[in-house]
Structure 1
Amino acid sequence: MTRKLYALSGTDTSRPFSPHVWKTKLSLAHKGLTFDIAPVGFTEIPRLEQGATKIVPLLRDGEKLVSDSFDIALYLEEAYPDRPPLLSGEGGKAMARFVEGWSQTTLHPAIGRIAIMDIHDSLDPIDRAYFRASREERFGRPLEAVAEAGRGDLETFSAKLEPIRHMLKFQPFLGGDRPLFADYIVFGALQWARIVSPHRLLAAGDVVTDWFERCLDLHDGLGRSVTAA
Structure 2
Amino acid sequence: MAITLYDLCGRDERLRFSPYCWRVRMALAHKGLSFETVAWRFLEKYVLAFADYDKVPVLTDGDTVVTDSFEIMRYLDRTYPDAPMLGEGASFQRVLFFKHFVERSVTPALFRIVAMDLLNAIHPDDRAYFRETREARFGARLEEVHQPEQGRQQLKQALAPVRELLRESPYLDGEAPSGADYLLFGSLMWAYTVSLEALVETGDPVDAWFTRMLNVHDGIAGNAITVRDL
TM more than 0.5: yes
Task: Kindly indicate whether residue 75 of structure 2 is the aligned counterpart of residue 89 of structure 1.
Answer: no
In the alignment, structure 2 segments of 5+ residues that lack a partner are none
2:171 is matched with: 173
Q: Map of 1:123-162 to 2, 5 A cutoff?
A: 123-147=122-146, 149-162=147-160
Identical counterparts, % of pairs: 38
Task: Kindly indicate whether residue 180 of structure 2 is the aligned counterpart of residue 182 of structure 1.
Answer: yes
Contact persistence 1:9–1:17 (CA under 8 A): yes
Deviation, structure 1 residue 80: 0.9
Deviation, structure 1 residue 40: 0.6
Cα deviations across residues 6-63 of structure 1 (Å, max 9, x unaligned)? 1111111111101110000010111111001111111113531435212211000100
Change (3 A) 1:187 1:111: same
1:6 is matched with: 6
Cα deviations across residues 156-208 of structure 1 (Å, max 9, x unaligned)? 42222111111112222111122111110000111011001110112222111
Q: Map of 1:54-93 to 2, 5 A cutoff?
A: 54-81=54-81, 83-93=82-92
SS of the aligned residue for 1:179 comes to: coil
Change (3 A) 1:151 1:171: closer
In the alignment, structure 1 segments of 5+ residues that lack a partner are none
Q: TM-score, normalised by structure 2?
A: 0.93
RMSD value, Cα:
1.5
More moved, 117-126 vs 65-74:
117-126
More moved, 57-66 vs 136-145:
136-145
Work out which of the residue numbers 213, 216, 226 in structure 1 matches 2:214: 216
Deviation, structure 1 residue 212: 1.1
Contact persistence 1:21–1:69 (CA under 8 A): yes
* Mapped partners of 1:99, 1:27: distance in 2: 16
SS of the aligned residue for 1:223 comes to: coil
SS of the aligned residue for 2:73 comes to: helix
2:205 is matched with: 207
Give every structure 1 segment of 4 or more consecutive aligned residues whose post-TM-superposition deviation is greater than 3 Å: none
Instruction: Count residues with an aligned counterpart.
Output: 227
Q: TM-score, normalised by structure 1?
A: 0.93
Deviation, structure 1 residue 73: 0.8
SS of the aligned residue for 1:16 comes to: coil
